[in-house]
Structure 1
Amino acid sequence: MVDWSSLETVFLDMDGTLLDLHFDNHFWLEHLPARYAEQYDLHPQEAKDRLIPMIMAERGSLNWYCTDYWSERLSLDITGLKAEIGDRIGYRPHVTDFLDALRASGLRSVIVTNCHPDPLALKLRRTGLAARVDDIVSSHQLGKPKEDPEFWHDLHGLAPYRAETTLMVDDSFPVLESARSAGIAQCLAVLAPDSQQQARARHPEIPCIHHFDEILPALRQRSPLPSVR
């Protein structure tokens, strides 16, 4: 499923790949509509009926992920509202074991996320995730989402990599298709990003897993890179 011997770098999505997407789904589909209803004196269902089409219209764009954009558009403190349910932020199954195995293997691990820097900071505080990887890049630093094929070209400026020795792991099929189009040699899809929802159907062309325990044994068999003295 993954040719570990050919890799130098592993790019990792965060939400839905390393962290349980239940937090984000609950926020956008339940918590935000409830707070929006309170703010504008609406029935909860009326708030959902207004918000969901508005949010979905931005899908795939940087605005979809941008806390500043939604805070201004809705006149609400989105990051503050996310902090209200911060106790829902958590790892997906087997993630810490996987990250420890990546580090032991000598592979370079980089989180490449569409998450805005403000909620990113909240999630890092809650999880300690930054200490488990080598680097973190937010698409907001580059001004375009991972769905944009040009993102991968610009990423070289922040996290230099060789496409032929790189793996991208993500729960978003459009992101993985974008990465493949940009020449990333290996891609892997996560089918169970939200612990409270059913797993999705497999992608017809991209290898898929439900959880990282499916690839841990092969990763652990990879010999670590020789140390530089």
Structure 2
Amino acid sequence: MPTFYVDLDNTLADRAGAYRAWAVDYLAERGADPSLLDAMVAADRDGLGRKQDTVDDLTRLLDLGPEESEQILDRFRAGIVERLQLMEGAADALSAIRGAGWRVVIVTNGATSQQTAKIERLHLADMVDGWVISEAAGVSKPDPEIFRRAAAVVGEPIGTDDWMMGDSAESDVAGARAVGMRSIWLTRGRPWPAGPEEPTLAVDTWDEVAAAVLATTIAG
């Protein structure tokens, strides 16, 4: 059976929702203007920018003192983990895919301690066959090497029947294409960006995923 590779942040885990929830609570804790919420969300850059840039933006936005500024990265990282939830439909889809004999491996960019904490928080070890985290691997998506490391987790080479699912056109879809896999792009309500070659499949929710993946098993 082939392998289903899957991104963590904003694919399996609702990181954006968790960050927003933390930001709401943090503003309330400080007695700050709730209208700053959208600016706090923008400062996060959907988790894809340099963390120091986010720290600098939050420091200016919230007028943080030196000690608060030094602590804010740890505060929002912990806050995200505490509020993190699985994307709706993800658990059922993973169960169906693994139940059909597929292997499932998480491929995620990020800090090892933070990504591991998310995996533990969501009990994903019970739902997948393993994972690769970029900091520990020393290489990040879309570099083909991280996908080869992920394939080694289950002891199988990457095949054309494999799928990679994620929410990033650059990291997930382009990365899958580079190693000859099919790709599923989780739209999160966004249009496909101009320029990159489109994914094999674009979905709005996890509800469509298991059926699409298992249909390729039957077709094969």
Residues 1:18 and 2:2 aligned together: no
- Note the 1:1-229 alignment, pairs <5 A: 8-26=2-20, 30=23, 34=27, 63-64=50-51, 74-76=69-71, 78-84=73-79, 86-146=81-141, 149=142, 151-157=143-149, 159-160=151-152, 161-192=157-188, 199-202=189-192, 205-206=198-199, 207-219=201-213, 222=217
Q: Alignment length, in residue pairs? A: 200
Q: Structure 1, residues 59-117: CA drift from partner, whole Å, max 9, x if none?
A: 867x459x9xxxxxx52263444334544211111111111011111111100011322
Question: How far is 1:134 from its partner?
Answer: 0.2
Q: Identity of counterpart residues, as a percentage?
A: 23
Give the unaligned 5+ runs of structure 1: 1-6, 68-73, 193-198, 224-229
Query: Could you say which structure has the greater relative contact order, defined with CA pairs below 8 angstroms and 6 or more residues apart?
Result: 1
Q: Please report the TM-score for the alignment, with normalisation by the length of structure 2.
A: 0.69
Distance 1:50 1:200 in 2: 20
Bigger shift: residues 74-83 or 91-100: 74-83
Distance 2:136 2:25 in 1: 25
Give the unaligned 5+ runs of structure 2: 55-68
Q: Please report the TM-score for the alignment, with normalisation by the length of structure 1.
A: 0.66
Question: How far is 1:177 from its partner?
Answer: 4.1
Secondary structure class of the residue paired with 2:164: strand
Residues 140 and 146 of structure 2 are in contact (CA less than 8 Å); yes or no, is this contact kept in structure 1?
no
Question: How far is 1:154 from its partner?
Answer: 4.5
Residues 101 and 219 of structure 1 are in contact (CA less than 8 Å); yes or no, is this contact kept in structure 2?
no
Label 1:49 to 1:155 Cα distance change in 2 as closer, same or farther (>3 A): same
RMSD of Structure 2 on Structure 1 (CA): 4.1
More helix by share: 2
